Amino acid sequence: MKPLSLTARISLLFAVSAGLVLLVTSLFLARAVDAHFEEGDRHEVGGKLELIRNLFANARGKAAFDRLPQQLDDALVGHHGLVVEVAESGGNVWYATPGVIFPPTLRQACTDEPVRCAKGLLLQWDQADVGYRGEVLSIVAGDGSPFVVTVGLDVARHESFMRTFMTVLVVAAALAALATAALGWLVTRWGLTPLRQVTDLVGGMSAERLTERLPTATLPRELVPLAQAFNAMLARLDDSFRRLSEFSANIAHELRTPISNLMTQTQVALSVARNAEEYKEILYSSLEEYERMAQMVSDMLYIAQTENGPLQPGPTPVDLAEEARGLFEYFEAWAAERGVSLALSGEAQVAGDRLMLRRAMSNLVANAIRHCPGGNTVKVLLERASGTVSVTVENPGPEIAAEHLPHLFERFYRVDPSRRRMGDGAGLGLAIVRSIIQAHGGSVGVTSAAGVTRFYFELPFA
Amino acid sequence: MFASCTARIWHDGATMKLLIVEDEPKTGEYLKQGLGEAGFVVDLARDGWEGLELAKAGHYDLLILDVMLPGLNGWQVLEGVRRAGNEAPVLFLTARDQVEDRVKGLEMGADDYLAKPFAFAELLARVRSLLRRGHASLESTVLSVADLELDLLRRRATRAGQRIDLTAKEFALLELFLRRQGEVLPRSLIASQVWDMNFDSDTNVIDVAVRRLRVKIDEGYEPKLIHTVRGMGYVLEVGTGDTSA
């Protein structure tokens, strides 16, 4: 099922919550009104009882007793719904509102609990389908004879009022909920306008316009993190796209020269008949060119794999000092021939891919030996700082101009573009170092000052 | 060059039969020609089905399988071959030099793996190494060629009876040459076998190391033993002129 739109969802939630709040409020209100009515009833009943008690208390002698029913009638005139019964303690009804017969259980209750009845018993009862709320009280007349007085108040009119009141409340609540939903819809539409604007902006973006960014200044605070995250993603995409197209351009450029060399050479070779030795020489020369291209292609593939995949088969402990010693053994003869000595200091262990790390160190050491003047020493320094292990390969020699330093680890970057000697490789050695170290979550760097060039990488310490 | 080593690999007199399954026409032809000229009898299949049929029918000493093939791919051919009870060593060729491929191939019973583009000398060296694996001769503790002797137990090298001082790595390098006499060893194979460097370095480290070894064992002696094979690598043998210019 298609999820509800945000607007519909929020409007619905508004309506439901408003409805609930109103409903609960209505219930409290109804309860309060009801309680108020009850309080009023009790007050009225209590007042009448007091009046009756006084009348009886002042009645002494027969004449006074004979006047009592008239006095009671007078006292009750105008009190619609008020009913009274006065019974002798024996049970004979002495006086009663005409047409009303009280259930005998009311008096019985008084007989059962005489102590409480002397103070008045609150009761509620039905009589002939009419609900009454009232009180029973035992009183003593002026001549000392006991009576039981019951005063009841017809509550039907309250009940009908409450019913109407509740109906009005519920209808009002429902209408209010609907109104809230409609308002909610409008408010949500209005509130989500920035989101729609962002959507429109994002929708208008394409690979060609990756340099655009969402404006964060005009956005509501809640949307700023989203826009920032999106902008960061755009920046990464833009970077990748740019690097990809640069990379393609680089490859094309790097392959153009050897291929054009090979073509020219082959065409020249074929233009005149030659002897076998000469053909052989041409093939050898081509072979060297092919080898260089093959090396470049496999280096590029290696970088692509390193950049795209996680470590395979997973990190293992690598003793960098041991690797450095192994590399020194490998480069020993070559370095000695160039009059360069090799020195190692420090110890360090990291978790990583041994072959990859060895390759990274090998490229740096080879690079250092190549650029180290005879009679000097290439030093490999292993250091452990808090949380990181750093590997520095340094060689004395001519300094590299500062403008080149930030680009040295880029693919195909050459300090001197016109120089492409044999043995200089395809210009990918340092790019391989960077891709390996980045795959390990580390960083690479280079400094060149005071006659010493230092290439280094830092790895998180496992 | 190949003619000179041909005589040497047939110590048991039998001709080695290879099957190449490769769909790329040029690659297939050149491999067939190159291995044929190196003294092997070579059959070439153009797709997976043909390759599987041939592998089951003929008695091959070694199979060279391309991974990406029309019909059955290299893994499926290998599976079929192994199911048919053929245990001939298998060398895989693939353009995708990804670790997963390597792992998969070795898990499925491939014996070696070579990523394209590869040097022909490297292929030849690996083929010979795989073929030798099945015919391991008694391990000798003394290796020799002409008047050069290498005593593996006492770690001593002598030429014409004179002691030659070698570093540990020079000793290992000479041992590799002696074990694989007559075979052209590409630089990458030397780097991997002697120094455990399994990647191409853009330096001439191997050339320098071989040159130093050469000075020690060949200078002042005849015949010269270590020769440069231009464009391919180095070979240790008696009586072939150096092909380097």
Q: How far is A259 from chain B (nearest CA, A)?
A: 16
Task: Give alpha helix (H) positions in B141-204.
Answer: 168-179, 187-195
Return left, alpha or beta for A105; rule: phi > 0 is left, psi -120 to 50 is alpha, else beta: alpha
pTM of the model: 0.62
Strands B41-45 and B62-66: unpaired
Q: Which residues of A touch B (CB under 8 A)?
A: 281, 283-284, 287-288, 291, 294-295, 297-298, 301-302, 305, 312-313, 326, 329-334, 337, 355, 358-359, 362-363, 366, 369-370, 423-426, 429
Determine whether the interchain pair A312/B99 forms a contact, defined as Cβ–Cβ distance below 8 Å: yes
In angstroms, the Cα distances linking A399 to A236, A366, A404, B77 are 33, 17, 11, 57
Q: What is the mean pLDDT of chain B?
A: 82
Q: What are phi and psi of A401, to 5 degrees?
A: -60, 140
Note whether A443 and A425 are within 8 A (CB). Answer: no
Residue B63 has a pLDDT of 92
Determine whether the interchain pair A301/B97 forms a contact, defined as Cβ–Cβ distance below 8 Å: yes
Angle CA A107–A108–A112, to nearest 5: 120
* Cα A158 to the center of its chain, rounded Å: 53
- CA A222 – CA A195 distance, rounded (Å): 10
Q: In what order do the strands lie in the sheet with A121-127?
A: A93-96, A82-88, A146-154, A130-140, A121-127
Q: What percent of chain B has pLDDT over 90?
A: 22
DSSP A2: P
- The encoded tokens of residue A420 equal 């492409």
In angstroms, the Cα distances linking A366 to A358, A431, A455 are 12, 14, 12
Task: Give alpha helix (H) positions in A59-155.
Answer: 62-76, 104-112, 114-117
Q: How far is A192 from chain B (nearest CA, A)?
A: 48
Note the pLDDT tens digit of each residue in A151-203. Answer: 888 877 777 888 888 888 888 888 888 888 888 888 888 888 888 888 887 88
Residue B5 has a pLDDT of 40
Determine whether the interchain pair B208/A305 forms a contact, defined as Cβ–Cβ distance below 8 Å: no
- CA B50 – CA A168 distance, rounded (Å): 90
- CA B72 – CA A399 distance, rounded (Å): 57
Look at the alpha carbons of A385, A437, B203, B164 in this order and tell me if their dihedral is positive or negative: positive
Q: 3-state class of A455 per DSSP?
A: strand
Strands B148-151 and A93-96: unpaired
DSSP A397: S
Q: Determine which of A255, A295, A298, A364 to mutate to test the interface with B (most B C-beta atoms within 10 Å).
A: A298
Determine whether the interchain pair A333/B115 forms a contact, defined as Cβ–Cβ distance below 8 Å: no
What average pLDDT does range B195-218 have in this prediction? 86
DSSP A450: T
Torsion of CA A179, A181, A183, A188, to 10 degrees: 180
Q: How far is B238 from chain A (nearest CA, A)?
A: 24
Note the pLDDT tens digit of each residue in A315-365. Answer: 888 999 999 999 999 998 899 999 999 999 999 989 888 888 999 999 999
* Interior/surface letters A414-428, b for 16+ CB within 10 angstroms, e for the rest: eeeeeeeeeeebbbb
Instruction: Identify the band that residue B103 occupies on the pLDDT scale cut at 50, 70 and 90.
Output: low
pLDDT at residue B106 is higher than 80: no
ipTM: 0.71
Q: 3-state class of A132 per DSSP?
A: strand
- CA B93 – CA B30 distance, rounded (Å): 14
- Residues composing chain A: 462
Note the pLDDT tens digit of each residue in B5-24. Answer: 433 444 444 678 899 999 88
pLDDT at residue B227 is higher than 50: yes
Half-sphere exposure of B50 (CA within 13 A, CB side): 13
Contacts with B208 from chain A: Cβ below 8 Å = 333-334, 337
What average pLDDT does range B38-52 have in this prediction? 90
- The encoded tokens of residue A367 equal 């690079």
- The encoded tokens of residue A104 equal 């005998």
Torsion of CA A237, A243, A249, A250, to 10 degrees: -160
Least CB–CB distance from B203: residue in A313, A359, A423: A423
Return left, alpha or beta for B39; rule: phi > 0 is left, psi -120 to 50 is alpha, else beta: left
Q: Which of A133, A128, A83, A87 is nearest to A107 (CA)?
A: A87
Note the pLDDT tens digit of each residue in B59-93. Answer: 888 999 988 888 888 888 888 888 888 888 999 88
Least CB–CB distance from B195: residue in A281, A330, A366: A330
- CA A202 – CA B126 distance, rounded (Å): 56
Determine whether the interchain pair B98/A305 forms a contact, defined as Cβ–Cβ distance below 8 Å: yes
| Residue found by looking up tokens 């630089």 in the block | B187
pLDDT at residue B109 is higher than 80: no
Closest residue, chain A, to B198 (C-alpha): A355
- The encoded tokens of residue B165 equal 């001082």
What average pLDDT does range B178-202 have in this prediction? 85
pLDDT at residue B245 is higher than 50: no
User: Cβ contacts of residue A246 below 8 Å, gap of 6+?
Assistant: none
- The encoded tokens of residue A402 equal 């500062």
Residues with pLDDT less than 70, chain A: 1, 207, 309-313, 416-426, 462
- The encoded tokens of residue B147 equal 């008047």
Residue type, A121: L
| Residue found by looking up tokens 């000097």 in the block | A376
Residue B234 has a pLDDT of 93
Note whether B89 and B131 are within 8 A (CB). Answer: yes
Residue A322 has a pLDDT of 92
Q: How far is A441 from chain B (nearest CA, A)?
A: 20
